[in-house]
Structure 1
Amino acid sequence: MSTKASTSTEQPNVRFISGMVFLLLLLAGIVYGAWAIKQWAEDEQKSPVRDIALSGDLRFVDQKQIESLIRRTQPGSFFELDVEQAHQDIERLPWVYRASIRKRWPNSLKIYVLEQTPAARWNDDLILNQYGDAFEGAVGKGKAAPDLPDLFGPGGSEHTALDGYNTMQSLLASAGMGIDELFLSERFAWHVKLLNGISLNLGRTEYIDRLQRFIDLYPLLKKNDKAVDYVDLRYDTGLAVGWKSPEQPSQES
Structure 2
Amino acid sequence: MGLVALATLAWGGMWALDHGSETAVLPLETVRFDGDLERLSEAELREAVSAHLQGGLLGVDVAALRRGVEALPWVDTATVRRVWPDTVRITIREQQPVARWGEVALMNAKARVFQPRTLPDGLPSLTGPPGSAARVLEQYQALRLALTPLGLEPIGLDLDERRAWTVELADGGLIRLGREDTQSRIERLIRAWPRITPAQDQRIAVIDLRYPNGFSLRWTQDED
1:44 corresponds to which of 13, 17, 22: 22
Q: How many angstroms does 1:224 deviate by?
A: 3.6
Q: How many angstroms does 1:85 deviate by?
A: 1.0
Work out the number of aligned pairs and report it.
204
Gaps of 5+ in 1: 1-40
Distance, in Å, in 1 between the alignment partners of 2:147 and 2:72 is 35
Given that 1:51 and 1:109 are in contact with CA atoms closer than 8 Å, whether structure 2 keeps it comes out as yes
Aligned to 1:37: none
The SS at the match of 2:150 is coil
CA RMSD across the alignment: 2.7
Q: Does 1:166 align with 2:141?
A: yes
Q: 1:242 to 1:205 in 2, by over 3 A?
A: same
Under a length normalisation based on structure 1, what TM-score does the superposition of the two structures give? 0.70
Distance, in Å, in 1 between the alignment partners of 2:183 and 2:194 is 18
Q: 1:184 to 1:96 in 2, by over 3 A?
A: same
Distance, in Å, in 2 between the alignment partners of 1:234 and 1:227 is 20
1:81-135 superposed Cα distances (whole Å, 9 cap, x missing partner): 2111111111111122221111222321111112223121111111111121212
Distance, in Å, in 1 between the alignment partners of 2:187 and 2:38 is 36
Partner letter of residue 132 of structure 1?
A
Structure 2 matches for 1:77-88, cutoff 5 A? 77-88=56-67
Partner letter of residue 190 of structure 2?
I
Q: Percent identity?
A: 29
Distance, in Å, in 2 between the alignment partners of 1:119 and 1:66 is 24
Q: Does 1:233 align with 2:212?
A: no
Aligned to 1:19: none
Q: 1:43 to 1:54 in 2, by over 3 A?
A: same
Structure 2 matches for 1:61-140, cutoff 5 A? 61-62=40-41, 65-75=44-54, 77-140=56-119
Distance, in Å, in 1 between the alignment partners of 2:175 and 2:68 is 43
Q: How many angstroms does 1:155 deviate by?
A: 0.9
Q: 1:249 to 1:81 in 2, by over 3 A?
A: farther
Aligned to 1:175: 150
Under a length normalisation based on structure 2, what TM-score does the superposition of the two structures give? 0.78
Partner letter of residue 175 of structure 2?
L
Q: 1:97 to 1:111 in 2, by over 3 A?
A: same
Higher helix share: 1
Partner letter of residue 200 of structure 1?
I
Higher strand share: 2
Distance, in Å, in 2 between the alignment partners of 1:187 and 1:56 is 43
Aligned to 2:14: none
1:20-79 superposed Cα distances (whole Å, 9 cap, x missing partner): xxxxxxxxxxxxxxxxxxxxx994377653322211233323555324422244338444
Aligned to 1:196: 171
